[in-house]
A and B are shown apart, each in its own frame.
Chain A
Amino acid sequence: MAYDRSLAFEYNNPTKIIFGENSLKELGPEVDRLGCAKALIVTDKGITKAGLVAKAKDALDYRYAGVYDHCVQDSDFHLVNEGAAYALEIGADILISVGGGSVIDTAKGMAVVMKEGGKLQDYDGIQMLSRPQTPHLVVPTTAGTGSEVTWAAVIKDRDRNIKMLICDYHIIPNTAILDPLMVAGLSMELTASTGMDALTHAIEAVHASESQPVSDAMAFQSIRMITEYLPQCIKDGSDLYARGQQQLAATMAGIAFSNAQVGLVHAMSHSLGAIFGVPHGLANSILLPHVMLYNLEECAPRYKSIALAMGLPVNQISDAEAGKAAAEAVWKLTRELKIPQKLSETGITEEGLLEAATLAMSDGTILYNPRMVTDEKELMELFQAAW
């Protein structure tokens, strides 16, 4: 696997990462370090019920100013604007998101509205912001999204039934606290689907057209760790070492794709999420091996490197054969994790696939797929293969 002579890239990774069991205790000092005093916790009711908000509140101590726990799967503009209004009302000067991708993305949007005013819809665009936003500290409670280190927020526009992708360096969180104790109680189902989300991020970062050596280093190490530790997390959810390794792998995959971008798997899964509400990690997991086979002709050497990172004995076979082996290994892993293999198992209708294919053609991530997609028909074939 070689890089072109014309290789030119930028690498951006400003988030401070704090890792370790009980690292949540660093929450208060981090708020101080960022020069803030009144912290609003952004979360959802499930996280509150699981007792994780109480832990964050304790760690914040006198800096705690309130909690906004109305987040739902697939955050939307309404919630972002409502949350920002509440934050301003109580005088919060920093957001602490405690949750998974939807919670973190909600807080990213709130940080913009709190600083710039108006509504999040006013900032529909790419890299429109020109100054740092409201400080944002993340405590992930899943190990997959990578949103704690990325420049993107996916916010649903329920009026138009699409997922808006807001991309800006100024929404990258300031700090991520990765405490394995905060993911120890994650259900096996969510551990598996969010874990596959992380693997998809890592693999897409490798095959994306903007891949580069620094993000590749993060992506390949992430693939190695997920292959080894995700099955262990499923086998024994109380194994904090495995949980921690998976957490790190997810964050590293986030750093990788935030720089290298993602491709067709995400374009297609964003559409399924917008139209049918299919959980992002699950849609990614089902679509990933199909897209790898679709892309194989464009990036077989890269897939051979992925196969090697997954520990497959592919040294003596061709790049194309190794690429197929990598896709097969993804299927084998999802079977081992006992998560759905087909889109038909997720409750979506076959009739709706054409709408999803059309919508996927408008998703920004499709621009970075290594194989150019010419029309909806190609996507329909892929959706039907995954059906």
Chain B
Amino acid sequence: MGYAYGTEEWESAYRGLVEERLDRVDKPYVMGSPEWVASFEKLVQDDDHYKEVAKTWEGTVVIHILPKPEIGLNCDIYELMDLWHGDCRSIKLVPGDIAEEADFILTGEYERWESVVKGELDVVKAMMQGKIKLKGSLPKIVRYVKASKRLVDLAAQVDTQFHTDMEEEKRAEYSNWFDGFCSSFRIN
């Protein structure tokens, strides 16, 4: 059955799993994994530059990575960023129906997000070219472009393992684990 999102049980199990994986899993972390998301969360929470440029920001943002079975990514990844007045309250993986309620949703293929994290693709340009779709108010995003860019810079600082660079055996092993994780936490 798995854990039901929104319950204390889900939250406790999720945080426990993240802590356990941060201890156990070697870096670099696979992009979009719970440990990768937690590392990103810490970087944002500790970043004074982000706090300054986002000090009046209010709203939740979801990074949505579309599934790509060819590289072992079988389910959608929704990273929910709860951001408020320069604080990063949390960044975590959530189920799709929860993600849909966010103020902003940025959706793209895995390769696009990989390019963004590698610093090869400007996220604003990607939105304009349709490589990443934005659901939400453009005027609000425009006022916080510096904050958006800072988030991308911080994501680039996470020691990242990309699915596309993984050896086949390791990728299959991770894929199996991640499918089980999604099922347990009803992520998909």
By a beta-carbon cutoff of 8 Å, the part of chain A in contact with chain B is: 10, 124-128, 130, 162, 164-165, 167-169, 210, 261, 361-364, 366-367
Assembled-state Cα–Cα distance A327/B128 (Å): 29
Minimum CB–CB distance from B156 to chain A (whole Å) comes to 18
- A162-B124 in contact (CB<8A): no
- A364-B138 in contact (CB<8A): yes
With beta carbons under 8 angstroms apart, the residue of A10, A126, A165, A169 that contacts B127 is A126
- A126-B142 in contact (CB<8A): no
Which A residues are CB-close (under 8 A) to B133? 125-128, 130
A-B contact pairs, 16 of them (CB 8 A): A125-B134, A125-B138, A126-B128, A126-B133, A127-B129, A127-B133, A127-B134, A130-B133, A164-B138, A165-B138, A167-B128, A210-B128, A361-B143, A362-B139, A362-B140, A363-B139
Assembled-state Cα–Cα distance A126/B136 (Å): 8
- B136-A364 in contact (CB<8A): no
Assembled-state Cα–Cα distance A361/B146 (Å): 13
Minimum CB–CB distance from B111 to chain A (whole Å) comes to 16
The answer to whether the Cβ of B69 comes within 8 Å of any Cβ in the partner chain is no
Which B residues are CB-close (under 8 A) to A127? 127-130, 132-134
Which B residues are CB-close (under 8 A) to A366? 142
With beta carbons under 8 angstroms apart, the residue of A167, A169, A210, A362 that contacts B142 is A362
Task: With A167-B128, A261-B128 as known contacts, state yes or no: A128 contacts B143, CB within 8 Å.
Answer: no
Assembled-state Cα–Cα distance A124/B128 (Å): 14
Which A residues are CB-close (under 8 A) to B124? 367
Contact residues, B102-143 vs A (CB, 8 A): 124-125, 127-130, 132-140, 142-143
Task: With A167-B128, A169-B130 as known contacts, state yes or no: A126 contacts B143, CB within 8 Å.
Answer: no
Minimum CB–CB distance from A224 to chain B (whole Å) comes to 28
- A210-B125 in contact (CB<8A): yes
